[in-house]
């Protein structure tokens, strides 16, 4: 189902068409809904397991199921949407395998490792459940494009199809609860609504270069309205996501493999077994809303700099700066955030 966001020339991208070509009309979300299933029957084994994930986890059967899973090639993945779908599936299987037992597993079997590394390499993302796997590519919408939202902040005049929470569902969860689905899709709605701020701030950045202070001021006022709208939206989290359900049933599965010794993993993380004696230990951070490219974009255009221990400046995470919907991430190709940053005047 395609987006109903206006074309770039009316969406505010006329001053920065190159930048806007790196994102969809829904911002960092895909222009259309993610695939619900891989079309090639060859991958039916993956689909069957991920479709029954909550039951397999509950019955403590997920590891034996994956241990007996065929090692499938990625050669039959044709489109970017199929690669993204494969990434979602393998991310959920990976975290289910690691955290879906009485104790965490420190070895990931080749049946997941081999295709996951190939898919991750293609998409230039880490082989772990990131924000893209859990949120950006893990939802469906039943919207007929007639949004019931009454919040006009951050609106294009025609509500994007992915902004209405009542029409959104997560494709996959670990727990099978509505709480977990709500946790994921609230971020989807926020990404869709916040997409309006992207061309607004690109226009403001162009106005800075022109010295048009009035245009900069208008852009900041409009962005402030967007941010307030997002704050109201995010404030709805506890409507359907019980903190106790999140903490006890969901949070453990979101953990990565880095700094997880207290949870039972070795200091080296998890061994990604590639078979035939190959493989290596990997320490990777799990999915987090802090990986949202939209939030990173806000930080970038507003000059917000996060610091770590020792007051060193930190750059935005590379996990999602490559999650743009256009471009193949070839060597030398700048991500959306790098393109934006390169165009800003020195502060």
CA angle (147, 288, 263) in 5-degree steps: 140
Q: Largest Cα–Cα distance in the chain?
A: 64
User: Within 10 A of 132 (CB to CB), how many other CB atoms are there?
Assistant: 24
User: For residue 170, what are the β-bridge partners?
Assistant: 139
Burial of 239 (0-12, 13-18, 19+ CB in 10 A): exposed
pTM score above 0.95: no
Give me the phi and psi of 24, to 5 degrees please.
-95, 175
Q: How far apart are CA 164 and CA 162, in angstroms?
A: 6
DSSP state of 250: I
Tally: H helices and E strands in the chain: 17, 5
Tokens describing residue 88: 């979602």
pLDDT tens digits along 257-298? 999 999 999 999 999 999 999 999 999 999 988 899 899 998
Mean pLDDT estimate for the chain = 84
Helices (H), the chain: 8-11, 17-20, 44-51, 53-58, 62-67, 80-99, 110-123, 131, 178-194, 197-210, 213-234, 237-240, 243-245, 251-254, 293-302, 318-321, 336-342
Q: What is the pLDDT along the chain (347 residues), one digit of tens a residue?
A: 333 333 333 334 555 555 555 677 899 999 999 999 999 999 999 999 999 999 999 999 999 999 999 999 999 999 999 999 999 999 999 999 999 999 999 999 999 999 999 999 999 999 999 999 999 999 999 976 544 454 556 654 444 479 889 999 999 999 999 999 999 999 999 999 999 899 998 899 889 889 999 999 999 999 999 999 999 999 999 999 999 999 999 999 999 999 999 999 999 999 999 999 999 999 999 998 889 989 999 888 888 887 765 454 544 444 444 544 333 344 444 455 555 555 554 44
DSSP codes, 199-221: HHHHHHHHHHHHT-HHHHHHHHH
Cα–Cα separations (whole angstroms), residue 328 to 239, 333, 335: 38, 8, 10
Residues 6+ apart with CB under 8 A from 284: 126, 127, 128, 256, 257, 258, 269
The answer to whether the beta carbons of residues 111 and 69 sit under 8 Å apart is yes
pLDDT tens digits along 205-226? 889 889 999 999 999 999 999 9
């Amino acid at each position: 189902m395609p987006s109903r966001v206006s074309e770039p020339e009316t969406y505010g991208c006329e001053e920065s068409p190159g930048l806007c070509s790196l994102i969809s009309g829904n911002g960092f979300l895909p222009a259309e809904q993610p695939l619900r299933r891989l079309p090639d029957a060859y991958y039916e084994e993956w689909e069957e397991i991920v479709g029954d994930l909550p039951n397999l986890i509950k019955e403590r059967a997920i590891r034996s199921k994956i241990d007996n899973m065929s090692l499938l090639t990625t050669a039959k993945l044709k489109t970017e949407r199929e690669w993204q779908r494969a990434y979602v599936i393998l991310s959920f299987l990976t975290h289910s395998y690691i955290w879906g037992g009485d104790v965490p597993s420190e070895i990931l079997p080749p049946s997941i490792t081999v295709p996951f590394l190939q898919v991750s390499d293609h998409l230039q993302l880490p082989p772990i459940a990131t924000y893209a796997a859990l949120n950006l590519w893990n939802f469906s919408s039943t919207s007929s494009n007639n949004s019931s939202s009454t919040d006009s902040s951050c609106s294009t005049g025609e509500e994007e199809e992915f902004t209405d929470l009542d029409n959104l569902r997560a494709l996959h969860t670990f727990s099978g609860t509505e709480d977990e689905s709500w946790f994921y899709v609230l971020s989807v709605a926020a990404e869709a609504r916040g997409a309006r701020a992207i061309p607004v701030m690109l226009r403001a950045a162009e106005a800075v270069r022109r010295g048009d202070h009035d245009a900069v001021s208008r852009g900041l006022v409009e962005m402030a309205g967007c941010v307030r709208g997002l704050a109201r939206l995010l404030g709805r989290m506890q409507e359907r996501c019980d903190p106790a359900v999140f903490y006890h049933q969901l949070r453990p599965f979101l953990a990565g493999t880095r700094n997880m010794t207290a949870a039972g993993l070795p200091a080296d993380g998890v061994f990604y077994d590639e078979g035939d004696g190959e493989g290596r230990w990997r320490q990777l951070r799990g999915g987090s809303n802090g990986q949202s490219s939209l939030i990173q974009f806000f930080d970038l255009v507003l000059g917000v700099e996060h610091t770590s221990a020792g007051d060193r400046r930190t750059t935005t995470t590379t996990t999602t700066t490559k999650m743009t919907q256009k471009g193949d991430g070839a060597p030398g190709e700048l991500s959306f955030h790098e393109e934006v940053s390169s165009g800003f005047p020195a502060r």
